[in-house]
Structure 1
Amino acid sequence: MHSAAFRAQRLARRMVDTQRRFPMHAPAIGLCVALAASCLHADVLEDIARTVPGIARRASSGVYDPESNIDAYHVGPGQTQVLCELQGPGEIRHMWFTLAGRDRRFNRTLVLRMYWDGASVPSVETPIGDFFAAGNGMRAELNSLPVQVTSYGRALNCYWRMPFRKSARIEVANEGEHDLCVYWQFDWMELPAAPPGMCYFHARYRQEFPAKPFSPYIIFDGKGAGHYVGTVFSLQSSFGSWFGESDDRFYIDGEEEPSIVGTGTEDYFNDAWNLRLFSNANTGVTIKEPNAEDCRFTAYRWHTQAPVTFTKSLRVDIERRSYALVVDPATGAKTTYDFKYRPDFCSSVAFWYQRDIAVPSEPFPPAAARINKEVFVEAAGEDERLRTSPGVKAATRSNRVANQKRALRVESDRPGGWLEIPFRIEEAGKYSISVYQVLTLAGGVWKVGLRGPAGEIALDKAMDFHDIFVTRRENYPESFLYGTWWEKKVGIHALAPGDYVVRFESAAAGICDLDGISIRRFPWDDLHGWMERYLAEEAALFAARIEEARTTVAALAARIEDHRRATGAYPR
């Protein structure tokens, strides 16, 4: 096995040979040589047997006090908390977080910012969940080379190398409505000198809601010299049907046409024929719901094996055309359109290294623009608000897999026993409803319905609370003690303002454990109307381009004829 230094030297020799063959590109190739040699990471197991320069350090939320178990920072709503300020030269090697709070979407409302060497702009600015490859305010597990997440998406680890010359400042901003408990540990090396040819780590979030028609979604658009190393891409689907007929494209150093072009969304994330959940060292899909309205999806791809180098600029985008299943609300007729633009909610984090501090290209969006409006009905801790039939007991119990580590245990000693939980809707619209279950080996089958101003809606005639996942290795042995947390979506429903009740009715004597109920605003009220307007705009655009082509051809034909008359021959 060749050493990392040998591989870097071999790569440099190849680039120098290329420089001799293509002398016009000498400046760009020379800089690529420096970037490749200076930013190439050594194989950890190969180099660990050699002397390691520097001193191991750790910054954390813990306080050295044998008599205390207070190990977290409490960050209030609207508060920005500096976690640590490190003095360089140094390099962060590992970051770990775990978070807790009443806010169910803290993965999108808690913002992570990191500043290098006294810069006034953050090189890292992203919702913490998206940084760890879980979009749309959801949680997910993964096991990749630079990012690893366990415990239902609650144990967040990253191993990106983050060098700095003078200083590093890491902070979080709570843009949610409730206090958050933030536990953290950062392992770093205090170095005798900054690594030669050092590149700064960057990770920045952006979004489009809705994605603009007739243009691609831009993942990254930056200037400077560096190399692109990763993408986290998330989507919330507007239309039903498959959303992924979209090619990725990389425009390097001002190219008018991209030199790197993909073949589809699932292909970019190294899957094929649709997408399914998986997690590998370099690519993975952490969230994937069935193709339908409100399908939520997140995938990651790390380019660590083949970074995309650039010396002046880089633009990374992805097409936003695919299939679109449209339902006519008047007739119920369904029409599937091929390769049309869709107004999906697209969001992403771009990861790259750069020789200087990159200036943000656009403002960071506020929390209200990053998440859907949502009414969340807490089950645990709300015992006094609940109504039950005779023979039904409901009580809050400790449960480590549920939010805030507690769930509502409902026990019925007969068929037909029921529990009702009230809530209120203030804004009319479509809502995607989910029940957050805790599945257990003793869980039974319950009918779930919704009663409100317009009458009753059957949400699920037979919701099963039995744990079929209990033997999953990633949940063992906690699943045998507390069950398995599970989100069960029960449809998109039009709701008017007013008071509502969710009712759980037992099919037989048995139990269910509830974490809560999400009534999340579906942001598209008139998809049929949107498609009609889009098709009209598309037709007008095509007609204009056809007319433009006709005018261009006619002008060319006239010039050819003028040349023939003047010279007696057609131009060659």
Structure 2
Amino acid sequence: MEYYYKKNNAKSRWASFENPLGEKGAAAKGNAGAKGNACYELDPGETVELLNVKGSGIIHRIWMTFSNLSANELRSMRLECFWDQREKPAVSAPVADFFCCGLSYLSPFENELFSSPEGRSFNSFIKMPFVKGARVELTNESDQKNTLFYDIAYTIEPINPENTLYFHAFWNRQNPTKLGKDYEVLPRVSGMGRYLGMNIGYLLNPSCLHTWFGEGEFKIYLDGDRQWPTMAGTGIEDFVGAGWGMKRFINRTQGVLLYEPENDRAAYYRLHTVDPINFEEDIRVTVQQMGIARYDTLMTMIRDGAQVKAVKASVNGHDISLLEPEGKDYSFAHALTPEGLGTRYLFYREDDCSSTAYFYYEKPESTLPPLPEVSKRLIPEKYCGAFQQFVYIDPSEPRVIRCT
């Protein structure tokens, strides 16, 4: 970006509780200019308007933090963005999940589009253009009060509607996923746009005995694809640029914020900023729920009632596709023979998946389903035990906030 170019037709503004309307010469008036309105306490059920601007412009950055950063409190905070005076939001997601924190799990990170410098705040750097206006709202759907600090940096400037795409974000959850049916990161959207990426979190099925969950392939159906996609990956760790399993790492366009197989939790992201995925007619994005395990482990799962289905056997380096004719007569008993010892199986499995998909779209609203009610967004307590964040409301009195 050429920072030194003149741009006299763009007016810079911040919206915050010190100046929620972004009016010129109207910020920091409270308490005679001595930090009179730095934050606001949201009551349960309350909606607060963070931005409401008429005309055209671009949102460049959103920052916020809360007094209570527990995972389920964040899952109960609904962030929504409306473009061009439409009634349906283009962005609708739990606040932390929107900011690339899968499972609303906080830890320090920075990538191309988001950051949480110390794991207790949120930043978005996604460009969000609007032609006729923008409105950003936050709703507290929890049963507790929560204090919000925020600011939104934007410019008021001419935007050409003929070559502008609107930013959208879609949150989804399926608990559990359906055996043998791919999880939808982004249901089919018809029209033109660009898929920008996603973050996804897994609460892994304990009945799968902490085995590797990431053999499934990401699939992207483009421009009329129905039965078979145009684009497909080779496994989850490959999809995020790693290989042969994964652990926590942070890169600009791909990373793993959380991987704790012993606690049945994982969260990762992939952003397509350098490898564009454009669509002209429609797009749909899915991922398979597929794991891998040795014969004895798989049999233990089945014996204990786990919902699994073997799809491929690997016997001494030779793969047998159990869903193809070659695998029709394959017997699990082969794994008990001397030549079958060490047989591993790929298998469909069921887990609790939630994700946020990011994309640009030619329209200011879509036909995607609305955000599920708060009860369907919450994280079971057994998965929350290790979630812990340090928050400084008063610098002289640090507090430890735990997920509840």
Q: 1:341 aligns with which of 345, 348, 364?
A: 348
Matched, 1:151 2:118: yes
Q: Distance in 2 between matches of 1:106 and 1:133?
A: 16
- Gap change, CA 1:82 and 1:274, over 3 Å in 2: same
CA-atom RMSD, angstroms?
Answer: 3.1
Report Cα offsets for 1:398-445 as digits up to 9, x if no partner.
Answer: xxxxxxxxxxxxxxxxxxxxxxxxxxxxxxxxx457367799xxxxxx
- Match of 1:107, SS? helix
- Match of 2:97, SS? helix
Partner AA of 1:281 in structure 2:
R
- Preserved contact between residue 60 and residue 126 of structure 2 (Cα < 8 Å): yes
Q: Distance in 1 between matches of 2:384 and 2:71?
A: 14
How far did residue 341 of structure 1 move?
Answer: 2.1
Q: 1:214 aligns with which of 171, 175, 180?
A: 180
How far did residue 296 of structure 1 move?
Answer: 1.4
Correspondence 1:238-317 to 2 at 5 A: 238=205, 239=208, 240-256=210-226, 257-289=228-260, 291-292=261-262, 294-317=263-286
Q: 2:385 aligns with which of 434, 458, 467?
A: 434
Q: Distance in 2 between matches of 1:326 and 1:247?
A: 20
Give the structure 2 partner of residue 497 of structure 1.
Answer: none
Q: Distance in 2 between matches of 1:196 and 1:112?
A: 28
Q: 1:352 aligns with which of 354, 359, 368?
A: 359
Aligned residues: 346
**Aligned-pair identity (%):** 26
- Match of 2:93, SS? strand
How far did residue 372 of structure 1 move?
Answer: 2.9
Q: Distance in 1 between matches of 2:396 and 2:13?
A: 36
Q: Distance in 1 between matches of 2:123 and 2:222?
A: 31
Report Cα offsets for 1:499-526 as digits up to 9, x if no partner.
Answer: xxxxxxxxxxxxxxx94776x8xxxxxx
- Preserved contact between residue 57 and residue 188 of structure 1 (Cα < 8 Å): yes
Matched, 1:171 2:137: yes
Q: 1:190 aligns with which of 127, 151, 156?
A: 156
- Gap change, CA 1:61 and 1:205, over 3 Å in 2: same
- Gap change, CA 1:339 and 1:72, over 3 Å in 2: same
> Comparing both chains, which one has the higher relative contact order based on Cα–Cα distances under 8 Å and sequence gaps of 6 or more?
2
Q: Distance in 2 between matches of 1:280 and 1:120?
A: 36
- Preserved contact between residue 51 and residue 152 of structure 2 (Cα < 8 Å): no
Partner AA of 1:434 in structure 2:
G
Note the residue ranges of structure 1 that are not aligned, 5 or more in a row. 1-43, 375-430, 440-474, 486-513, 521-572
- Match of 1:105, SS? helix
Report Cα offsets for 1:379-415 as digits up to 9, x if no partner.
Answer: xxxxxxxxxxxxxxxxxxxxxxxxxxxxxxxxxxxxx
Q: Distance in 1 between matches of 2:247 and 2:152?
A: 32
Q: Distance in 2 between matches of 1:107 and 1:438?
A: 12
- Gap change, CA 1:264 and 1:85, over 3 Å in 2: same
Q: Distance in 2 between matches of 1:213 and 1:177?
A: 35
Correspondence 1:459-470 to 2 at 5 A: none
Matched, 1:203 2:203: no
- Match of 1:363, SS? coil
How far did residue 172 of structure 1 move?
Answer: 0.7
Give the structure 1 partner of residue 73 of structure 2.
Answer: 106
Q: Distance in 2 between matches of 1:225 and 1:435?
A: 42
Q: Distance in 1 between matches of 2:304 and 2:175?
A: 27
Correspondence 1:68-83 to 2 at 5 A: 68-83=35-50
- Preserved contact between residue 202 and residue 352 of structure 2 (Cα < 8 Å): yes
- Preserved contact between residue 206 and residue 349 of structure 1 (Cα < 8 Å): yes
Matched, 1:56 2:12: yes
Q: Distance in 2 between matches of 1:234 and 1:119?
A: 30
Report Cα offsets for 1:329-369 as digits up to 9, x if no partner.
Answer: 9x999999732222211011111111113424323212211
- Match of 1:285, SS? strand
Q: Distance in 1 between matches of 2:253 and 2:387?
A: 31
Give the structure 2 partner of residue 530 of structure 1.
Answer: none
Give the structure 2 partner of residue 361 of structure 1.
Answer: 368
How far did residue 198 of structure 1 move?
Answer: 0.6
Partner AA of 1:252 in structure 2:
L
Q: Distance in 2 between matches of 1:226 and 1:333?
A: 43
TM-score, structure 1 length as denominator? 0.56
More helix by share: 1
Partner AA of 1:55 in structure 2:
K
TM-score, structure 2 length as denominator? 0.78
- Preserved contact between residue 269 and residue 300 of structure 1 (Cα < 8 Å): yes
